[in-house]
Amino acid sequence: MNIKITFPGGKKVYAEIDGMVIKTDQPPQYGGEGSAPSPFMYFLASIGTCAGIYILSFCQERNIPTEGIYINQEMLYIPIEENKMKLDKIVLNIILPPDFPQKYVKTLAKVADQCAVKKTIMNPPAFEVKTTVSS
């Protein structure tokens, strides 16, 4: 699989995947227009949305309504040096409505824990960055 990254102007960077475009931008305080989430915000959102698709599929397979279910994703930072913070922990709190079947409450956390994004972060791939001059 390949993803083409392009630079349409300003601080915007786009990722083209299978005919779809993911648009990113930087906030105004970093020279962007704030017209789209930053790449790091997409990264963070990919964790919760990945867990979310596992929860959604679990509920759909059991005909459990998903109305009232949501994930509160909290990012906890710690200081590492003056004026710099490090992302220390990500907490996914699955909020369930009162009528959610009790027998699946604990199971749902295990389902969300199967998220492929989280698993990849826990066992990261090798990275290689190189340059090629086109002919």
CATH number at residue 58: 3.30.300.20
Q: Which pLDDT score is estimated for 83?
A: 87
Q: Which pLDDT score is estimated for 135?
A: 87
Nearest residue to 100 via CA among 68, 60, 133, 135: 68
Average pLDDT value for the chain: 97
Please check the confidence at residue 100 and state whether its pLDDT lies above 90: yes
Range 63-74 average pLDDT: 98
Sorting pLDDT into bands at 50, 70 and 90, what band is 96? very high
d(CA 62, CA 107): 13
Asked if 6 contacts 13 with a C-beta cutoff of 8 angstroms, the reply is yes
Residue 106 lies in a domain: yes
Q: Which pLDDT score is estimated for 11?
A: 98
Nearest residue to 97 via CA among 65, 73, 74: 65
Residue 12 lies in a domain: yes
Residue 128 lies in a domain: no
Q: Which pLDDT score is estimated for 2?
A: 95
Residue 49 lies in a domain: yes
Based on the fold, state whether residues 26 and 85 are members of the same structural domain.
no
d(CA 109, CA 117): 15
Range 55-80 average pLDDT: 97
- The residue range of the domain holding 66 is 38-122
